[in-house]
Structures are given as structure tokens and as C-alpha cells.
Structure 1
Amino acid sequence: MKRYVVSAQRVLLFIMMVFLAAMVIGCTPQSDDSSADSGQSDEEVSDKNWEGQKVRVQMIGDFKEESSTDPITGENAEGVEKLAEEFERLHPGAEVEFILMPWEGYTEKTQAMLTSGEADVYQMPGIADFAPQGVLEPLQPFIDEDDEMDLDKFIDNQVEGWKALGPDSDELQIYGLPFLGDARFITYDKQLFDEWGVEYLSEYPTMDEIAEKAEQMTGTNPETGEQNYGIWYRGDWSSAFTLVNLAEGQNGAWGEGFAWEEVEFDFDSTEMNNGLEWLMDMQEFAPKGLVSNQGNEKWLTEDNNIAIMLNQGPGDTVKPSHANGVGDRIGIAQEFKNDEGVGGLFAGSPLAIAEASENKELAWEWIKFATNDYAQEFVFSENGAIPSIKSAEEFESIEEYEELMEPVFEAMSTPSTPRYPWGSSQPRYILTSEIESTLTGDRSPEDALEKAQKESTDWVEGR
């Protein structure tokens, strides 16, 4: 048997080397970007003791409490518990409790939560419906007293777009600040355009341009021999917004007013009629099944057979296209704009504070935190949610998707059609139903829009 003998001198030399290495490491200056290396924000820790205070935060969508596999990218995605950890680090003694819910039925669930006082902070896309009830806290006093909140950090028009009427006010006020951004735009498959030899869509296409290019790319693909369709749009759920945007492209509008007693619809206008006739014409260049949300099953796949898609959103486009390996094929053009350069659906989610909250100061701290760079980049990188602040264009996580995200941010700054108050209520569903009846050939555009106008006006008057 061999024996290995280690001398005392060698042992002593080894110990001295380890000690010197530890001294060198300990004296090495730390990087100025240590907060980024540790996954923390660079904000200063609050000097206030928040011991014993809890903020209850309601969030809507695909958020998860703990880390899980992203269903789109297949990668591991951190849960919102990481946001809680960072907020609690910055606010010593504070505690965050999340109440997560899916989009399905969120309006009714939010109403029930507000009634029972379940949360302090609400993600509230339907803010215009809730503010008049007196269940939300006006945020202007918090903004006025807090030097850290700069409204200029938000993408243009986002703060204005979420203003709402209170129970005793005839002027729009700030009841929520932008948290998740959203937008609508037109997407197209550049590979199909190349195969057909058709020029890509312009940045601001017109109805005539879309119609011409959709017709050119309907038929047998000259390179693949496969059947292609020039256009697709959803003929059911979102058809009202598609039609209204067509009216905007002709300098028309859905109507005007904000408070229900002031709302006047313009569903039977010449612009709306022209738009509905255009949608009927576009059926010739589209796959069957528009009214039942069918025919687009191959979109964002290598076998895609549709050239142009109307009324698309970033959540269904940006990360999914890259995850499916077709990100380089997808182009984005703006929705139809009027002569002032505005048009499209205003969408997203602001954050609001419940009037019944007993921790309004901490709730305000959460809103500031949720709209800072750290939290805004987190919800994009981990959940694919769209940031609402201008600095997002510089986020490292955005760089991979920069070509698609640039037009998304632009679309967010120029919306015209409010999703609320009318978009979530009966007039929107009345209009949608009449569009469906026209697309299926049951009613003429003129008759359908006259019916939508009358029934929507009657509904408002009977509220």
C-alpha cells in the first residue's frame, strides 16, 4: 500500500494561500451595478418603518405566485413573489399579499372584492365603470405630495386615457396610473409578401392599400403552390373595435361623450357604413369562419397562409412569434389613423387604490414601485406584459424584440377609441351582433347600423 505524507510546512503554506486569497477578494471593489447583479432595483431603501403593515394587491391575467414554465416560450418564468420580495426589501417591515385572478369574469369578481374590501390596490382596466361608484381613491393628492412621481415617465397619452369621472365630479380625474400597456395594430407576414412579390405594408396603411395587397396575395402561392389568403380579421368578439377603427381612418368616430348621460353614438354614420361594407368585401380574400373566429390556425407558424391580420395585440404577437421561430417574418403596421394621426383602441390596465383601504400610504408606495423600471421590466421579461413607461425602450429584455416593440410603443401613444365606458357595455355588444348579422348575409350594412344606433341609444336613455 502506498502512503502519502504531507509535511507540516506544506499544510502551513496552503493555509496562508487560502487566507491571502480571501483578503484579496474581500478588498476588491464592488461593481457600481451590484443591484442589477443581485436582481434588485437601484432604488433607495425607505427610511420609514412599515412594521405590521400589509398591502393586498389584486392582479389580473396569467400571473403566477411562484416560478413556473412560461407556456409561450417554454422557459422558466419567475413568479410575482419576486416582486413582493423586492418591495418588502425597499419597505422594511411591510408585507405584500397577492390576489391573482384570470381575465375571465374579472369585472364581476372585482366588483365583489371592492364591495367586501378584499384588496388595497386593484389592477383595473374598467376604471371608468368603478370610479363613479365612489369606491376608488383619487390619486392627484398623492401625486401632488410626492416628488418621486413624475407623470412624464409614462408613454404619451397613457395617463390621460385612464382618467375617469368620480361620483360627484363632471371633470375627468386621475383614479389610476398606467401599469400594463396594450395596443392594437396590423400585422403581416413578410415572407408571404416576398413570395408574392408584393411590397410590404406602409407604416400607416390606408383601407385601399390593405384591400389591394390582400387581393394580390389571395390564391395559389407562386413559390409554394399552397393556398394563401390576403387578410383575416375576427368577425365576432372584437369586430366592433375593428369597424370603429375603419371609421377613424375616414375621420369618423364611434360617437362622443364620457358620462353616460352625455354619450352620443354615431354608429349609423357614412364612415361606419363604408367600413362595414369594406369588411364584407374583404371576406372574398379571407378564409372561411371569420364570424366564429376560425381560419387563422396557421398564423405565427412556419406554415402560415395569411398575409395580413387586422386588430392584433402585442401579447399575441411579440413573444409568441419569437417562441415559434417566425419572429423575423412578422411586420407591424399602425392601425388606421385620421388626419390628426390618431386612431385605434385604447387598452391596458391601470392601478387604483380602494377608497376603503386602511393602508393607502403603503398602497401608493406599491403603485410607485409597480411603475418603476424594475417592476416594469420584470412583468415583460417574466410574463410578456407590455410596459407603460418610456424608459422601457431601453430595457435589456426588450432588445431581442426591438423591431416589433418599436411600433407597439408608437401604437400605445396614439389611441383614439376608448375601451371604456362604451366598450365594456351593452352598446358594444349590440354593435358586434349587428356586424355579425351583416357578415353572415342576414342584414344589410345600412339596416344593421341603424338598428345598432337605435338600440344603443335606447339602452343609454333607459339606464
Structure 2
Amino acid sequence: MHRGFKQKTTLLTLVCMLVLMIALVGCNKSESGGNNSESANGDWKGQTLKVQMIGNFSMDSGTDPVTGEKVKGLDELKKEFEKNYPGAKVEFIIMPWEGYVEKTQAMLTSGEADVYQMPGIADFAAQGLMEPLQPYIDGDSQFDLDIFIDNQVNGWKALGPDDNELQIFGLPFLGDARFIVYDKQLFDEWGVDYLSDNPTMEEVMDKAKQMTGTNPKTGEKNYGVYFRGDWSSAFTLVNLAEGQNGKWGEGFAWDEVKFNFNSPEMLTGLNWLLEMKKYAPEGIMSNQGNEKWLTKDNNIAILLNQGPGDLVKQTYAQGLEDRIAVVQEFKNDEGVGSLFAGSPIAIAKNSKNKELAWEWMKFATGDFAQKFIFEEQGLMPAVKSAFGWDSVKEVDHLMNPIFKAMSTPYTPRYPWGSSQPRFILQSEIEAALTGKRSAEDALNRAQAESTDWVKNR
């Protein structure tokens, strides 16, 4: 056989083998469903990711106690993630909100999980317990922070033990906000104009006062306003200061934090709450008196400092969609104000599965998981794509102002929001609302005690 022909035949054979190998690799990648080389090569095999979740989550499907409808459990997320990352396994560790700070601290210290739901991220990042995410973001061309609703990323920024500037340690997972809710039917029955989209303190007080007493149409006792005098009172008061162009204080690192708890704006706000208490049920100090809220027999016109919770589900389950409306909490002249709330997710510094944990972070903030938490769990999504979901459009008269509230809070999250100064301020507000101290004395005590706590922490 001719020598040149042999060489050509050998070369042709090598080319065919190379093409076949490339085709096989491509086929494996397509079948795996993965979007990265590790998934394509099966490198997730044997890796188990442990994910901590806080709240009323369940692994299995069940019945929604509000709507009575069938809802899917976290097993739905587990199956979808494991399908996309063959070989990987996900285990959920579910804990209640009660005592979550102490329990999370213990879990982080002992390395029990890889990914955490982390509303108290500022404290844990400062201890060096959380993995900085900027390197993962910079190194992943398939991920873009622009997917999140405005200010959601900034709200969860925190300082590590060696940081001078705020860094990203968590990605928005559960959205949340605070806003004002009112019952249009009661306004109609009393002949009072609806609340403005951005009401002032004066407007809310005037309309609450007008609707306290015997309803002229039903003859039933009505209350103009409801607010919690206990658990959320610190955030209610700080928002009142923001509505007057004040703020809680300044700084983020504990050695730079300075409180303004006894500022003129805070004092005006607390005196406003003392006056508003006259138009509220007697049980506000123990979260009572609002038992008829979101029922057809509702007797409260306005609720302050409300979160989404079961608002949307309960409103529709009770057939109140034409009665309930949402407007903004108090904002400063720049349109900013109110508590930044919700939950980010974060990677533990001591995780041994950080690459897989990052893949979970992307999955949990993608549309599949975000739709799951909204449509199955009734929780708020944190991504802009939600604006176009059919399930959101069906309830957009409630969701649109909620999304606006999510995009205009004070950011970053109050660094003391999950720490002792919050409870110090809350305790002093309670003392003022129950007549144990004057508003001025209560705020001076809150200022002094919180400042001492920071110095001695």
C-alpha cells in the first residue's frame, strides 16, 4: 500500500476519534442538565449540601392553614436541585423563628450546615463566620446581581472582621417590607377619604381619629388604628423619625455606631404613638385587639408597620380583595424610609462544600425557587422577574405597593436590628406606652443603655 495513503488514513482515523470524543462529552453535558464543568464531569457525586431554613417550612406537601389548598413542601426544591446537579444531595435543617439567633450561632460554631438563612447576617459576618461572596460573583459569568429588586443586595451588606467597607456576604432570598394597610370599606362607611399612597403622620392621625367610635352605618365599635406596642415598636418609632428626615443614628461597625434614640424626631414620634394609642384597641401591648382583622367583621381602619405575612393569602381567602389596600410607610424627603427586612442566604466560612453551596445560592435565587416560596409558601420573592409572573399579576393591587416598599427602605439593614439595642429601645417604648415613664425619660434611658452596651460588648 502506498505510504502517503497510510498516513492520510491514520490522520483521518485520529480526526474521527477526536470528533467522536467531543460529541460524547457534549452529549454527557446535555444529559446531565448542568451548566458547569463540575456537573458535566460528575464531580458532585458524593457531596451532601446541608441547608438551614428558618420558619414554618415542611419537607412534605400539606394543606395551607389559611387557604385550605394543597401546597408543596421543600422536597420540591430538593428534587429539582438534585436533578440539575447529578450526584449531589441536599439535606434541610428546619428551625423555628423562636431562638433562631442562638441556635444559628451554635450551628455555625459546630459546622452543622453549609448554607444558612441569615437575617442576622451583620453579627455573624463580623465574627468571621460567613464566606465573602464577591469572588464567586466576579468569577461566575452566568450570575448577575441585577436580577434582584432594587436595594435588596445593598440591604444585606455587612462588615467582616477585617473589612473597612461593606461587603456582600448574603444574597436576597426571602423578600419582606413594612407598610401601612387599611380597610376601604370602613373608610367608606365613615365617609373618610382613602389614605394617600405616601401618607404623612398628620394624615394618618387625623383619619384614625375620625374612624374611632360607633360606626355610623353598622352601629359597631370601630378603632381607627392598630399597631403593636411590643415586638415591632422599635421599628415603628424609627420609621416615624425617618418620616421627619431623622434616623436612628449612624455607623455600621460597632466601634463606630452612634445612636440618636433621644433625638427630637424620635421624641415627636413617641409622643405621636402615645396620642395614636387613644384610637387603638386596649390590647396593643400584648398583640391583642386585632382578632377581627382580615375578616368580614373587621373593626380596625388602619394598621401600622405591617409585613406581608399571610396578607395576600388571607385577603383572598376571606374574599376581601376589594376592601384591603396597601400604602407606604413614612419616608424622608429622598423617598427613603422603613425597616429593611427579609432573609438573605449565606455560605458558612467553615463549609467544606463551598462550590456546591454557591450553586445552591444561584438556584435558590432563580425563578424556580423564588416562584416556589411565593406560590407554595406565600412568602415574598426578592427578584425583579416576579413582576411579570401570572401569580403576581393576579394580586398586583397588593403586590405592587409591597414591591415598592421593598425597594425604598433604609439600607443597609439597621446593624442593631437583631441585637440588644433593639430590645432596649423596645422596652423603653413599652414603658412610655404603659405610663411608667415619660416619652423623654424613656428615650434618654434607651440612648444611655444602648450606648453603654456598645461600649461594653
Q: TM-score, normalised by structure 2?
A: 0.90
Measured after TM superposition, the shift of residue 44 of structure 1 is: 5.7
Which residue in the other structure is 2:172 paired with? 178
Q: Following the alignment from structure 1 to structure 2, what is the Cα–Cα distance between the partners of residues 211 and 417?
A: 27
Measured after TM superposition, the shift of residue 397 of structure 1 is: 2.0
State which drifts further: 380-389 or 287-296.
287-296
Give CA-to-partner distance per residue, 1:241-296, whole Å, 9 cap, x none: 00100000000011111011100000111100000111111112111121122111
Which residue in the other structure is 1:400 paired with? 394
Structure 2 segments unaligned to the other structure (5+ residues): 1-32
Which residue in the other structure is 1:320 paired with? 314
Q: Following the alignment from structure 1 to structure 2, what is the Cα–Cα distance between the partners of residues 396 and 461?
A: 51
Which residue in the other structure is 2:23 paired with? none
State which drifts further: 283-292 or 248-257.
283-292
Match of 1:409 among 391, 403, 408: 403
Structure 2 contact 48–88 (Cα < 8 Å) conserved: yes
Say yes or no: does 1:253 pair with 2:250. Answer: no
Which residue in the other structure is 2:22 paired with? none
Which residue in the other structure is 1:31 paired with? none
Task: Look up the SS of the partner of 2:49 in the other structure.
Answer: strand
Which residue in the other structure is 1:155 paired with? 149
Structure 1 contact 65–80 (Cα < 8 Å) conserved: yes
Give CA-to-partner distance per residue, 1:440-460, whole Å, 9 cap, x none: 112111111111111111111
Which residue in the other structure is 2:40 paired with? 47
Equivalence map 1:33-432=2 (5 Å): 46-49=39-42, 50-416=44-410, 419-432=413-426
Structure 1 contact 344–417 (Cα < 8 Å) conserved: no
One-letter amino acid matched to 1:190: K
Distance 1:335 1:60, change over 3 A: same
Q: Following the alignment from structure 1 to structure 2, what is the Cα–Cα distance between the partners of residues 443 and 113?
A: 40
Structure 2 contact 156–413 (Cα < 8 Å) conserved: no
Measured after TM superposition, the shift of residue 400 of structure 1 is: 2.5
One-letter amino acid matched to 1:415: P
Q: TM-score, normalised by structure 1?
A: 0.89
State which drifts further: 97-106 or 299-308.
97-106
Aligned residues: 422
One-letter amino acid matched to 1:47: A
Q: Following the alignment from structure 2 to structure 1, what is the Cα–Cα distance between the partners of residues 410 and 423?
A: 19
Residue identity (%): 70
One-letter amino acid matched to 1:171: E
State which drifts further: 148-157 or 287-296.
287-296
Structure 1 contact 431–452 (Cα < 8 Å) conserved: yes
Match of 1:444 among 421, 438, 446: 438
Task: Look up the SS of the partner of 1:352 in the other structure.
Answer: strand
Measured after TM superposition, the shift of residue 220 of structure 1 is: 1.1
Measured after TM superposition, the shift of residue 113 of structure 1 is: 0.9
Give CA-to-partner distance per residue, 1:274-333, whole Å, 9 cap, x none: 001111111121111211221111100110000000000011412122122223211001
Q: Cα RMSD over matched residues?
A: 1.3
Q: Following the alignment from structure 1 to structure 2, what is the Cα–Cα distance between the partners of residues 169 and 386?
A: 31
One-letter amino acid matched to 2:40: D
Structure 2 contact 154–412 (Cα < 8 Å) conserved: no
Task: Look up the SS of the partner of 1:319 in the other structure.
Answer: helix
Q: Following the alignment from structure 2 to structure 1, what is the Cα–Cα distance between the partners of residues 350 and 108?
A: 8
Measured after TM superposition, the shift of residue 418 of structure 1 is: 5.4
Structure 1 segments unaligned to the other structure (5+ residues): 1-41
Q: Which runs of 4+ in 1 moved over 4 A?
A: 42-46, 417-420
Q: Following the alignment from structure 2 to structure 1, what is the Cα–Cα distance between the partners of residues 70 and 64?
A: 6
